[in-house]
A and B are shown apart, each in its own frame.
Chain A
Amino acid sequence: MVGDDKTPQLMQPAVEAFRARHPGVAVEVRDVPWADAMTKYSAALASRRGPDLVTGSTSYAIALGTKGALVDLREAAPDLARELERHANPGALRAIRRADGRIYGAPFDMHVQLQYYRSDLVAAAPTDWNGFLATARALRARGHGVAQQWGNTSWLGFYPYLRQAGGAVYDPSCRRAVIDRPEAVRALTYYARLYRELQAPTDGWPDADGGLESGAYGLMQSGTWLLSRMDMVHKGLVGKWAAAPLPAGPTGKRTAVLGGTVLAITRFSPNQKLALDFMRTVYRPDVTRRMAEAALAYGGMWLPSGRQDQIAALDLPHRDALLAQLADAEGPPPCPAWMRQDYLVTRAVQRVVLAGADPQVELGRAAAVMNRALGVR
């Protein structure tokens, strides 16, 4: 599973519930750092030996599934597929479902981008793009900056703005890149102001929460995982911070990126029936809730994207902000070419933000390369 050393603890309730029904079966949970997951899984596939179940990013699951390395859940466990249709986060499900209806993995967990701010410095979170600029300028006048943490200066940080402005990377058929349209240019021009005008840090992952505590930043963007750990990790922030959904763009939408993993079964697994049963166990409402609570206990967060109905029952600070944002969140473009082409958008963003290039020119360039690869014209 992708994760860190805390992941096995998260899986404990599922393992226990599963073993109650299958007492003779041993279950082993191993975590893999995100960066190496691809390599590790591929080594396993190449040697036809390895885990029965894996978690990974949606795009990776799609890539593996199309190669035939993962089990199609709709075919192997239609009951589970139906449960997912009913209870999973629609954005997450849409991302993993293929055009022909095949589902290579079940949405496992998710995170979404949120605004975080110092409640003692900012009266209320900005609700639209102009409000954001006004709030940020006021903060800067008092010596506090703004920062973006999750996806900073990459496509992931830019993507919400793109969608909020009504733009998209590809057209609905996934056959053509439309990232050079006026809406996208508008979004990138706005995004660039964060850095050029508001001097936001340009690192790939600034210490935004630490900066929030020290006052270096008064307003920042990060992911939902901070909700459960903020008080634990930054004792100086207790009672002084709040979270809110992202500010809305010109279209009125406040779309945020939904990142997450899916749980999938490998086709070379000799224990597919058991694996499917394990999956069913994970998605039982009581097990799901216990897993989420196990994560919260150590300051982690596991938002079950397969059973969104359980989130409302969790004890989280600023839960309403989370639920509000979840209602307007999307995964990355569900097009097969995206996994190979995302770096082009990141490069365009970085050229504009880090090297001062012109958004129209850079997005045009990116679109040209993408379309050439897609075989357009």
Chain B
Amino acid sequence: MKPAALLKAALWLLVPAMLVPYYWMAIAAFKPVAELLRRPPTLLPQAPTSRNFFNPDWAGTTADPDRLAGILQVQVEGHGFLRFYANSLLVTLVVTVVSLLAASLVAFVLTKKPFPGSRWLFRALLLSMMLPWEVTIVPNFVTVAQLGWINSYAALLVPGLAKAFVVFYFRQAMLGVPDELVSAATLDGAGTLRTWWSVVLPLLRPALAAIAIPVAVGEWNNFLWPLLVVNDAATLTLPLQLGKMAGDLSFNPQSAAVLMAGSLLASLPAIVLFLLFQRQFVAGLQAGATKG
């Protein structure tokens, strides 16, 4: 079965090939600038250094490649990498938690406690899912600019809180919640909110966990919208800062070292979390997919 064996071998070769970008990123992060630009490049850092993360020789702004700021020292208007990291974390966590809670509540009401007109609302959500996000971006940008939200956390948080596809996802999950449980809670005197919180949410825990992951990954990596609404370093998110540095890469190859260090730090948590919670990640992304 020669051809089959060849095919199998080729497929096996793909496995390390997929990891090459991460490997290249990692070794570049630990190479000194001089070694980084060596032609041909070294496959393993010959003089590994942590300077791209923290350079003890950094004494302020300079073009000298030996004295460039490490990624943890980079300052933009007085704010550093940790700030951008924190901003990304804040936006990701807040949007994920709030949008999931809101969507599950809305799905619960529309499915289990429908009021006159709820079907139309649901149809509106469905319709909006058929349209690509591009048709909303121009007016949303103008709205945010006119509200004076440019550079504020509001611009990063608020527009992403009402997610139609999450409502739709929870609706499917809601069909698995027995009506009897809901009516039992109502008979016990629980209002809608109490029922949702104490009865429905616990039942939805696997669904919540699953959908949380694609939503969180999407928010963490979000680049286009923040690019439009954030200029100030105070609210800059990680992808924005990395994007700025990537833009510099053509003009300034020396900056690759620090950029790769930053990229590594940005990817590492996601990679570690993924390796620890593989199954949930896979289930999550399947959830985001099949219900779409």
Contact present for A204 and B63 (CB under 8 Å): no
Number of chain A interface residues as a range: 20 to 34
Contact present for B63 and A298 (CB under 8 Å): yes
Question: A216 CA to B37 CA in the complex, in Å?
Answer: 13
Question: A5 CA to B254 CA in the complex, in Å?
Answer: 15
Q: Indicate if A35 sits at the interface (CB-CB under 8 A).
A: yes
Contact present for B148 and A47 (CB under 8 Å): yes
Contact present for A46 and B142 (CB under 8 Å): yes
One of A5, A31, A43, A300 near B150 (C-beta < 8 A): A43
> In the complex, what residue of chain A is closest to B60 when comparing beta carbons?
A298
Please judge, given known A-B contacts A32-B231, A43-B141, whether A232 and B148 are in contact too, CB under 8 Å.
no
A-chain residues with CB within 8 Å of residue B141 when the two chains form the complex:
43
Contact present for A33 and B244 (CB under 8 Å): yes
Q: Indicate if B75 sits at the interface (CB-CB under 8 A).
A: yes
Please judge, given known A-B contacts A5-B74, A204-B250, A214-B39, whether A47 and B63 are in contact too, CB under 8 Å.
no
Contact present for A47 and B74 (CB under 8 Å): no
Please encode chain A, from 203 to 215, with 1 for each CB lying within 8 Å of some chain B CB and 0 for all others.
1110100100010
Please judge, given known A-B contacts A47-B148, A205-B251, whether A9 and B61 are in contact too, CB under 8 Å.
yes
Contact present for A233 and B63 (CB under 8 Å): yes
Question: A203 CA to B249 CA in the complex, in Å?
Answer: 13
Please encode chain A, from 1 to 40, with 1 for each CB lying within 8 Å of some chain B CB and 0 for all others.
0001110110000000000000000000011110110011
B-chain residues with CB within 8 Å of residue A6 when the two chains form the complex:
61
Question: A33 CA to B141 CA in the complex, in Å?
Answer: 19
Contact present for A299 and B150 (CB under 8 Å): no
Q: Indicate if A44 sits at the interface (CB-CB under 8 A).
A: yes
Contact present for A46 and B251 (CB under 8 Å): no
Question: A207 CA to B253 CA in the complex, in Å?
Answer: 7
Question: A225 CA to B64 CA in the complex, in Å?
Answer: 14
One of B39, B150, B227 near A44 (C-beta < 8 A): B150
Contact present for A299 and B37 (CB under 8 Å): no
Q: Indicate if B206 sits at the interface (CB-CB under 8 A).
A: no
> In the complex, what residue of chain B is closest to A236 when comparing beta carbons?
B34
Contact present for B248 and A30 (CB under 8 Å): no
Q: Indicate if A267 sits at the interface (CB-CB under 8 A).
A: no
Instruction: Please report the number of residue pairs spanning A and B whose Cβ atoms sit closer than 8 angstroms.
Output: 68
Question: A31 CA to B79 CA in the complex, in Å?
Answer: 13
Q: Indicate if A49 sits at the interface (CB-CB under 8 A).
A: yes
Question: A159 CA to B199 CA in the complex, in Å?
Answer: 71
B-chain residues with CB within 8 Å of residue A35 when the two chains form the complex:
247
Question: A43 CA to B60 CA in the complex, in Å?
Answer: 31
One of B74, B145, B247 near A46 (C-beta < 8 A): B145
Please judge, given known A-B contacts A4-B248, A47-B145, whether A229 and B232 are in contact too, CB under 8 Å.
no
One of B63, B74, B150 near A232 (C-beta < 8 A): B63
Q: Indicate if B290 sits at the interface (CB-CB under 8 A).
A: no
Please judge, given known A-B contacts A5-B76, A32-B231, A33-B247, whether A43 and B145 are in contact too, CB under 8 Å.
yes
> In the complex, what residue of chain A is closest to B250 when comparing beta carbons?
A205
> In the complex, what residue of chain B is closest to A295 when comparing beta carbons?
B61
Q: Indicate if B146 sits at the interface (CB-CB under 8 A).
A: yes
Question: A300 CA to B141 CA in the complex, in Å?
Answer: 35
> In the complex, what residue of chain A is closest to B74 when comparing beta carbons?
A5
- Give residues 184-236 of A contacting B (CB, 8 Å): 203-205, 207, 210, 214, 216, 229, 232-233
Contact present for A210 and B253 (CB under 8 Å): yes
Question: A216 CA to B38 CA in the complex, in Å?
Answer: 12
Question: A122 CA to B242 CA in the complex, in Å?
Answer: 40
> In the complex, what residue of chain A is closest to B37 when comparing beta carbons?
A210
Question: A207 CA to B37 CA in the complex, in Å?
Answer: 10
Contact present for B146 and A300 (CB under 8 Å): no
B-chain residues with CB within 8 Å of residue A32 when the two chains form the complex:
231
A-chain residues with CB within 8 Å of residue B150 when the two chains form the complex:
43-44, 47, 49
Contact present for A40 and B231 (CB under 8 Å): yes
Q: Indicate if B95 sits at the interface (CB-CB under 8 A).
A: no
Question: A35 CA to B65 CA in the complex, in Å?
Answer: 24
A-chain residues with CB within 8 Å of residue B65 when the two chains form the complex:
233
- Give residues 80-135 of A contacting B (CB, 8 Å): none
Contact present for B148 and A30 (CB under 8 Å): no
One of A8, A30, A31, A298 near B62 (C-beta < 8 A): A298
CB distance from A10 to the nearest CB of B (A): 9
CB distance from A117 to the nearest CB of B (A): 20
- Give residues 275-302 of A contacting B (CB, 8 Å): 298-300
Please judge, given known A-B contacts A33-B247, A205-B250, whether A39 and B228 are in contact too, CB under 8 Å.
yes
Which 9 pairs, one residue from A and one from B, show the smallest C-beta to C-beta distance? Answer: A299-B63, A46-B145, A47-B145, A298-B61, A229-B63, A205-B250, A6-B61, A40-B231, A232-B64
* B positions within 8 Å CB-CB of A: 37, 39, 60-65, 74-77, 141-142, 145-148, 150, 227-229, 231-233, 244, 247-248, 250-251, 253-254
Show 18 residue pairs from A and B whose CB-CB distance is below 8 angstroms, ordered by the A residue.
A5-B61, A6-B61, A8-B77, A30-B231, A30-B232, A31-B77, A32-B231, A33-B247, A35-B247, A36-B227, A43-B231, A46-B145, A205-B250, A229-B63, A232-B63, A232-B64, A298-B62, A299-B64
* A positions within 8 Å CB-CB of B: 4-6, 8-9, 30-33, 35-36, 39-40, 43-44, 46-47, 49, 203-205, 207, 210, 214, 216, 229, 232-233, 298-300
